[in-house]
């Protein structure tokens, strides 16, 4: 019998690829959306990608509400819990995303337990590992590291992801299940399945659109969305992944190098790409007026590396290079006439 996997937040960039890969491997998928209004469009997407429409269904679910969970979990063999708020701007209230991120993770685990769903893969983030900690330049973060939720300058998004992941580990320890595996992807780029960009691809689109004539000295781990999807599903299928977290990254890259890579690959679209790296003092001044800049302030000038070797060795992920992942996104943006 075909196994059914519950995937939360299937309107999202990463979840879309996870669904594509799950259907490709023969699973049935039950996807959650906040509103069924987009159901027909989503069903058409997977049908156009060559999948059997009978294997993809949708249910309505909000991470902050208690309704709909039993129906969503019924007869599923695993949950891919991917949904979580990932907004571009820093909110005034640092705890703004916690009810959906942490509350959602706990609702997933509680309802998986009630329904007898044995395994949950939770999408956390590299920001649950690298933020709010004072490490020497060049430090290599691993799955042993945790962000400091007490750091005064930790971003609301990082806070929500870290508190959610911590709460999830505490929950399964307290109740003895379900089996939990956590994915900690860095900045996710790569090909688009539709015109919904999500926050990470929007940032790269904004590079092309000329939103940033200069960029701060910021360094990101980069990972291709296809590798992220493969990792989620291999983690679900492999027992070695039970009870572990996995950093997903092909390596870090300063923002200015991202711009240079895009310029080299797409010279005809390069006119408005960032050309300079702004000095830190200037970034601090801009942050006084721009909330999206305020959010990244603590990361400015921090150069670090993240170690994706556990995912390579245990999940068999042969990470696409950072450059190829960025180019795949650039090609999608051009094909879809989004830049």
Binding mask 55-94 for ligand NDP (x = CB under 6 A): -------xxx-----------------xxxxx--------
Q: How far is the CB of 1 from ligand NDP (least distance, A)?
A: 28
Tell me: does residue 11 bind ligand NDP (CB under 6 A).
yes
Q: How far is the CB of 228 from ligand NDP (least distance, A)?
A: 8
Q: Which is nearer to ligand NDP, 284 or 324 (CB)?
A: 324
Cα(74)–Cα(111) distance, integer angstroms: 10
Tell me: does residue 198 bind ligand NDP (CB under 6 A).
yes
Q: Which is nearer to ligand NDP, 127 or 300 (CB)?
A: 127
Tell me: does residue 9 bind ligand NDP (CB under 6 A).
yes
Q: How far is the CB of 106 from ligand NDP (least distance, A)?
A: 13
Q: How far is the CB of 313 from ligand NDP (least distance, A)?
A: 21
Distance of CA 134 to the CA centre of its chain: 24
Q: Considering only 193-201, 229-237, 263-271, 330-338, which stretch makes contact with ligand NDP by CB under 6 A?
A: 193-201
Phi and psi dihedrals of 125, rounded to 5? -170, 165
Cα(115)–Cα(266) distance, integer angstroms: 50
Give bridge partners of residue 217 from the DSSP assignment: none
Continuous H helices in 49-190: 69-73, 98-115, 127-130, 156-175
Continuous H helices in 196-299: 198-209, 225-237, 255-265, 280-287, 291-294
Q: Do 24 and 5 meet the contact criterion of CB atoms below 8 Å apart?
A: no
Cα(174)–Cα(157) distance, integer angstroms: 26
Q: Which is nearer to ligand NDP, 26 or 99 (CB)?
A: 99
Q: How far is the CB of 199 from ligand NDP (least distance, A)?
A: 5
Residue nearest to ligand NDP (CB): 12
> Rounded to 5 degrees, what angle do the CA atoms 224, 304, 133 make?
115
Around Cβ 34, how many Cβ atoms within 10 Å?
Answer: 15
Residues in region 12-41 near ligand NDP by CB under 6 A:
12-15, 34
Tell me: does residue 123 bind ligand NDP (CB under 6 A).
yes
Nearest CA among 237, 225, 132 for reference residue 181: 237
Give bridge partners of residue 33 from the DSSP assignment: 60
Q: Which is nearer to ligand NDP, 63 or 156 (CB)?
A: 63
Cα dihedral 195, 57, 102, 177 sign: negative
Q: How far is the CB of 268 from ligand NDP (least distance, A)?
A: 26
Q: Which is nearer to ligand NDP, 87 or 213 (CB)?
A: 87
Cα(42)–Cα(47) distance, integer angstroms: 9
Residues in region 279-298 near ligand NDP by CB under 6 A:
none
Q: Considering only 44-52, 110-118, 181-189, 305-313, which stretch makes contact with ligand NDP by CB under 6 A?
A: 181-189
Q: How far is the CB of 63 from ligand NDP (least distance, A)?
A: 4
Q: Do 33 and 39 meet the contact criterion of CB atoms below 8 Å apart?
A: yes
Q: Which is nearer to ligand NDP, 34 or 312 (CB)?
A: 34
Q: Which of 199, 206, 270, 277 binds ligand NDP (CB under 6 A)?
A: 199
Q: Do 248 and 184 meet the contact criterion of CB atoms below 8 Å apart?
A: yes
Residue 40 parent element (H or E): helix 39-48
Q: Considering only 44-52, 130-138, 184-192, 323-331, which stretch makes contact with ligand NDP by CB under 6 A?
A: 184-192
Q: How far is the CB of 61 from ligand NDP (least distance, A)?
A: 6
CA dihedral 147→152→156→161, nearest 10 degrees, is 20
Chain residues binding ligand NDP by CB under 6 A are 9, 11-15, 34, 62-64, 82-86, 100, 123, 125, 161, 185, 187-188, 198-200
């Amino acid at each position: 019998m075909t196994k059914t996997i519950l995937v939360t937040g299937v309107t999202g960039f990463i979840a879309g690829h996870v669904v594509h890969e799950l259907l490709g491997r023969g699973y049935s998928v039950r996807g959650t959306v906040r509103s069924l209004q987009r159901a027909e469009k989503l069903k058409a997407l997977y049908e156009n990608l060559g999948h059997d429409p009978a294997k993809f269904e949708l249910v309505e679910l909000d991470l902050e509400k208690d309704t709909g969970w039993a129906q969503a979990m019924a007869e599923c063999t695993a949950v891919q819990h991917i949904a979580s708020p990932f907004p571009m701007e820093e909110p005034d209230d640092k705890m703004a995303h916690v009810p959906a991120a942490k509350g959602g993770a706990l609702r997933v685990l509680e309802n998986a337990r009630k329904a007898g769903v044995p395994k949950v893969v939770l999408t956390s983030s590299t920001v649950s590992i690298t933020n709010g900690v004072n490490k020497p330049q060049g430090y290599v973060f691993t799955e042993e590291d945790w962000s400091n939720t007490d750091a005064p300058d930790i971003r609301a998004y990082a806070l929500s992801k870290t508190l959610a992941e911590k709460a999830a580990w505490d929950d399964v320890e307290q109740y003895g299940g379900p089996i939990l595996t956590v994915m900690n992807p860095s900045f996710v780029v790569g090909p688009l399945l539709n015109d919904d960009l999500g926050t990470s691809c929007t940032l790269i689109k904004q590079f092309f659109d000329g939103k940033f004539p200069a960029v701060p000295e910021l360094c990101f781990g980069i990972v291709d969305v296809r590798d992220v999807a493969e990792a989620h599903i291999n983690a679900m299928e492999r027992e070695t992944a039970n009870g572990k977290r996995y950093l997903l990254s092909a390596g870090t890259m300063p923002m200015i190098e991202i711009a240079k890579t895009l310029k080299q690959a797409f010279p005809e679209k390069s006119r408005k790409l960032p050309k300079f790296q702004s000095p830190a003092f200037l970034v601090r001044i801009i942050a006084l007026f721009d909330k999206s800049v305020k959010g990244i302030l603590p990361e400015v000038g921090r150069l670090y590396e993240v170690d994706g070797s556990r995912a390579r060795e245990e999940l068999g992920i042969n990470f696409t290079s950072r450059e190829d992942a960025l180019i795949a996104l650039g090609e999608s943006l051009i094909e879809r006439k989004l830049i």
